[in-house]
Amino acid sequence: MNNFRIGTGEDSHAFSQNFLPQKPLTLGGIIFENEKKSFEANSDGDVFFHAICNSILSSVGEKTLDSFAKKMCDDGIINSQKYVEKSLEIVKNKFPNFCIQNIVISYEGKIPKIAPKHDLIQKNIAKILGLDLSQVGLTYTSGENLSAFGKGLGGRCLVNVLIKK
């Protein structure tokens, strides 16, 4: 059983005061073009991808996304998919034969409504991680006005991943 590892990642961002057209609201690499919101972040603020990075990295005891993302942002790389690719590279260097068994993504936020883009997000994440659709779970809740996220002030994502090394 020591060939399996579980990782957990979390990320959250508030929405910016002003919409930034160069940083449209993006989750799992999919743009929500009808929402005139941007996450307050140096990057595109994609909390799905940021939490995915942290879950993958934590599964093998590596440091979090911020150990390399700031430098990438400073170099002009703000597309969070590039951070996922870097995270996968870090893990492959440590465990060359690792593979993701499944990943579960859970979002809390009043904005945006995820359901209309559920399939697009799931397909995009599966493609990037080299997984079958059945290996990518995606859940979401509005938060029912209970937290800052439930009140529409930002978004929060929690990700769990199971890998085999």
Supply the CATH number for residue 126's domain.
3.30.1330.50
Longest alpha-carbon distance in the chain: 49
Average pLDDT over residues 100-113: 97
Beta strand 136-141 with 99-108: parallel, antiparallel or unpaired? Answer: parallel
- Residue 33 CB: number of other CB atoms within 10 A? 9
- Give the total number of structural domains in the chain: 1
Q: What is the pLDDT of residue 1?
A: 55
Q: What is the pLDDT of residue 165?
A: 82
The residue segments making up the domain with residue 44 are: 4-164
Comparing C-alpha atoms, which of 37, 10, 17, 14 is closest to residue 26?
37
Cα torsion angle, 76, 46, 157, 86, sign: negative
Put simply, whether the predicted model's pTM sits higher than 0.85 gets the answer yes
Measure CA 141 to chain center: 16
Residue 29 pLDDT > 60: yes
Q: What is the pLDDT of residue 2?
A: 72
CA dist 82 and 74 (Å) reads: 14
